[in-house]
A and B are shown apart, each in its own frame.
Chain A
Amino acid sequence: MLKIKDLKVKLEEEDKQILKGVDLEVGAGQVHAIMGPNGSGKSTLSYVLSGRDGYEVTEGSAELEGIDLLDMEPEERAAAGLFLAFQYPVEIPGVGNMTFLRTAYNAQRKARGEEEASAAEFLKIVREKAKDLKIDAEMLKRPVNVGFSGGEKKRNEILQMAVLEPKMCILDETDSGLDVDAMKLVSDGVNALRNEGRSFLVITHYQRLLDHITPDVVHIMANGRIVKSGGPELALEVEKNGYADLMDEVQ
């Protein structure tokens, strides 16, 4: 599904190398987790994959189902099936959540040469998905993320994911700012979306999210590289001993 090879990235503005050769392969239907201390390059990886400005790829490649991601605009990557759930979902005053969702949904369909959904058809789709995530209709009417609590914002991200039905989902610290109940709700939403054709890359600081979303593979990222990979037990190890021990071991 997602194949990253020797990806090296620096900040455009300054001569600072953030990713120093990342290799990663996520198979179809798999859930991979990336853990690592602050500043290890986890969020940068998610931004570079989704096409945010400000980063320069100096070497390496990233492909989604064999298609070069790095050559595409962010909206083309989305239409190709990539989705990034933001660590800090952006508030957009004045744009209704429903308008936003429908514009995105239809833009992706159009880009793929599929028929666009009418307002009525789309309303039906969203209502169903929203119900599963316990998002009330009131939240759909409000401007995108404006006045949403931390939990509501993250649920809104998962709702977008559910509606847009991407193949490759990247969750950037989706657990940050969530209490236990909200984390459960969000995780249930993600788990409901897991299937053979859909893969996940879950970026997180802590092991606790992985209690709810069980990964197939866990990677530890440090200093711009993936330094260790293993099964779910690797996350437990980090939780118990912290990153410091692990770093010593790697070095």
Chain B
Amino acid sequence: MALAQAKSDATEARLSGMQIPEGGAGWARAARQDALDRLTGMGLPQRRDEYWRFTNPAEFLKPETPRAEIALDAPGFDDTDVLRVVFTDGVFDADASDALSQEGLEIERFADAVTKDIHWIKGLLGVLETAGQDRVDRPFATFNTAFAEDGVVLRATGKVSKPVHVEYRRSDDTAEAVLRHMVRVEDGAELTLLESGVGASRLNTGMEVDIADRGVFRHVRMQGRDHERRAATHVFARLGEESTFKSFTLSLNGMMTRNEVIITLKGDDAVAHVAGAALGDGRDFHHDDTVFITHDAVNCESRQVFKKVLRNGATGVFQGKILVQPDAQKTDGYQISQSLLLDEDANFLAKPELEIYADDVQCSHGSTSGAIDETALFYLKSRGIPEDKAQDLLVLAFVAEALAEIEDEDLAETLRTQLAGWLERRR
């Protein structure tokens, strides 16, 4: 078949000369080999794949010639007291990082963890990623399992007071980075993970998050102003009873970004919220949020809240799915995806999906796209607020519902400031 052949060719081309990392323990090697086999079996996606109808996967396969110089942002979350873990050019940077020690937290680099005999990682690496291939292939995640050499490994055993901030840096013309983070939140423990910075022009990050009963995991991510970024990211999470997962991503610019979040609510009364705001200016900008939430337990709540602000030919994509398994009664699922198109050149493509097998379920979804509200704009201007500032206010108002998903008001304020700065620079 032509499609199968195309996939096979693309995979062969991409993997040419690549080998799974040397040096890991036997179990790590086995997990990587298994991923490589699965990847070869499924093949890299093509535009003709239904799941890639709106986003051209070839963009993630192109070899990159990075710019000689890139304008780096001031690192995000500067005002927050964090445990800083820095990856420079895709490799853990001990000099730039804080000492890897924090009460209630076991933390080490992935490159070290895979050489050891750590029980929980052995049982997790590639496991959520494999389970997350239900109904759709996610080859870039499998690629990550096979080839990632570094990242951070976190196990929260208590309420970790200080967020862990994973900061990406690139000091030279690094074209590629593949990073894998592993998280385990134990019974009743709490952890906040922040991500920011510029990884590489071609970036692939993967994260597996296993939350035990009553565990709380919060994730706030900032994808900043590296204009040539092509990033494929995956977050897989499994939630135990009464546990909480909350993830928010702010994306500004970048060329081609696909953020996939795949969650399974495995224990009763669990809560999962995924939210994001993406702002894009220019024909180069393409941002894709793809979310798949499976309700597999009773009385769980899930939320997907995504906002996109697009102009000058920018494109935004949302593919969101809620799958309710037969036993997942009393499910409460809600999904909203909205775009604000600042001119007629911007594009927004949305595909909301519900697949429900239980009967006592409350699920709803909504998707809208619209222009700036002229009446509101006039109201603001009539009070003396200049047009550009009035428009900024309305843009901030538009993304407010997504930002409200961030519980920590200081973190929310940090992102709001980033957003306002972006708007100001774009005038």
Which of A's residues lie within 8 Å of B, judged by CB?
50-53, 73-75, 77-79, 83-84, 86, 89-90, 92-95, 99-100, 103-105, 107-108, 111, 143, 160, 164
Contacts and interface: CB of A to CB of B under 8 A. Distances in A.
B401 A94 contact: yes
A103 B393 contact: yes
B69 interface: no
Contacts of A95: 393-394, 396-397
Contact of B379 (A83, A90, A105, A111): A90
Given A92-B393, A94-B398, 6 more contacts: A74-B378, A77-B382, A92-B394, A93-B400, A95-B394, A104-B380
A79 B384 contact: yes
Interface in B354-403: 374-376, 378-387, 389-390, 393-394, 396-401
The DSSP consensus for interface residues of chain B is helix
A94 B383 contact: no
Most buried by A among B382, B385, B386, B396: B382
B381 A75 contact: yes
A89 B381 CA distance: 13
B398 A86 contact: no
Contacts of B393: 92, 95, 99-100, 103
Contacts, number: 78
Interface string B392-427: 011011111100000000000000000000000000
Interface residues of B, number: 23
Nearest to B403: A94
19 contacts: A53-B378, A75-B381, A75-B384, A78-B381, A78-B382, A83-B382, A84-B382, A86-B382, A90-B376, A92-B380, A93-B400, A94-B396, A94-B399, A94-B400, A95-B394, A100-B393, A103-B389, A104-B385, A105-B384
Contacts of B394: 92, 95
Contact of B385 (A75, A83, A84): A75
A71 to B, nearest CB: 15
A115 B396 CA distance: 25
Contacts of B389: 103, 107
Nearest to B393: A95
B381 A92 contact: no
A178 to B, nearest CB: 20
A89 to B, nearest CB: 8
B397 A92 contact: yes
A200 to B, nearest CB: 16
A77 B400 CA distance: 30
Nearest to A86: B379
Contact of A50 (B382, B398, B400): B382
Given A92-B394, A103-B389, A103-B393, A73 B381 contact: yes
A94 B376 contact: no
Contacts of B382: 50-52, 74-75, 77-78, 83-84, 86
Contacts of B399: 94
Interface in B285-341: none
- What 7 pairs across the A-B complex have the smallest Cβ distances? A94-B397, A78-B384, A94-B400, A108-B384, A104-B383, A90-B379, A74-B381
